[in-house]
Amino acid sequence: MHPTAFTYKTLQSGAPIALDFHPPNTKADSTTGQRQVAAVIYFHGGGLHVGNKSAVPRWLYRRVTGSGWALISVNYQLLPPASGHDIIKDIQDLFVFLEKETLSADGQVFKVDVNRLVVSGSSSGGHCAYLAAMHASPKPKGVFAAYSPAGNFLIPQYLEEKTKPFFMGRDLLDASKFQDYIYPFPNGPLEPTSDIPLVFGAPPTNRRVAMAALYLQLGTYLDYVTGQHEPSLSGSLRKLLADETKTLADLEMAIPEKHRALFPQLAVDSSWPPTLLMTGTADTAVLPEESYHFHDLLEKAKVRTVLVKVPGVDHLFDFAPDAKDKWAVEFDLITNFMAECLRA
């Protein structure tokens, strides 16, 4: 993969936020002039805390560019210090950039057709894809979310403190070693960032890699997503979850109005774009029940939705070196789904 990088926005601090543009591998009808292309936007995973635009599944890159579409892989502000509200603004600014700008790559000039976009993401990147479906303009033509959180944030995985290993077979973390990443940030505010390479190594090789698991372990993940620590949103929802007289609807009602824009499960209606959800049935990082729940919500709203269950696999299975061959049938289904969305 040899993409061309573009800055799609600049923070007040002067820090750029970038995207990678991967042009189609198919030849244009003409070698002169501007080439209009449909595109698949991809949001990387990493718990919203780590990662960057280079973390693209190889199979997705090959399928998208080989189908005559551009692949646009995007950085976004990472939390902390950002919150999900900052990420919504990044997504909206991305769409404005794509609508206004032309992109030069491989000796050609491309204009992305913003009326022919599919949004996609792996893990927390799927949450970003949902946020694009909720808040971007124009509305994407389709959504592909791989083992995505936010299908149901109101479950013990997010709200309860963990006392035994629960996350991809890993031991519990020692929170005392991560105090600078834990509210109230005793060493001062963290520097805004949108680009931390996802390095799979034990802490302290890259401590941000551990943040999603740590916040889940502490039961405070939603505090960081919303930016609400005082009072702790997670704490108030945890109390309701422990009350056997309370229902999921009670927990949903307890989410403050100002944060409801971050909860896709509260936003599903008949205007939601067609959506394909893929999950491993043995996922321990993002439980498959989230995809099942979101699929049910979409069906009830009469939205076109496809649920792809991959038996016996855990998180990030499609990043394995043999993924393109092992799950070729599933990837064909996903590619065909995106093609239908982009033709509509």
Q: Final residue of a domain: which of 236, 258, 280?
A: 258
Structural domain boundaries, residue 293: 4-152+261-343
Looking at the fold, whether 137 and 162 belong to one and the same domain comes out as no
Residues 133 and 278 in one domain: yes
E strands, the chain, are 4-10, 16-22, 34-43, 70-74, 103-105, 108-122, 142-146, 275-280, 305-310
- 8 Å CB contact between 225 and 231: no
Encoded amino acid at 193, one letter: T
Of 230, 258, 286, the one marking the end of a domain is 258
* 74 CA to centre of own chain: 10
Indicate the residue among 226, 258, 290 that finishes a domain. Answer: 258
Report the CATH number at residue 331.
Answer: 3.40.50.1820
pLDDT tens-digit profile, the chain (344 residues): 789 999 999 999 999 999 999 999 987 665 567 899 999 999 999 999 999 999 999 999 999 999 999 999 999 999 999 999 999 999 999 999 999 999 999 999 999 999 999 999 999 999 999 999 999 999 999 999 999 999 999 999 999 999 999 988 889 999 999 999 999 999 999 999 999 998 654 444 578 888 999 999 999 999 999 999 999 999 999 999 999 999 999 999 999 999 999 999 999 999 999 999 999 999 999 999 999 999 999 999 999 999 999 999 999 999 999 999 999 999 999 999 999 999 97
The verdict on 182 and 44 lying in the same domain is no
Total of domains in the chain: 2
Residue 183 burial by Cβ neighbours in a 10 Å radius (0-12, 13-18, 19+) = middle
Examine the domain organization and report whether 247 and 266 are in the same domain.
no
* Same-domain status, 214 and 104: no
Asked if 187 and 239 sit in the same domain, the reply is: yes
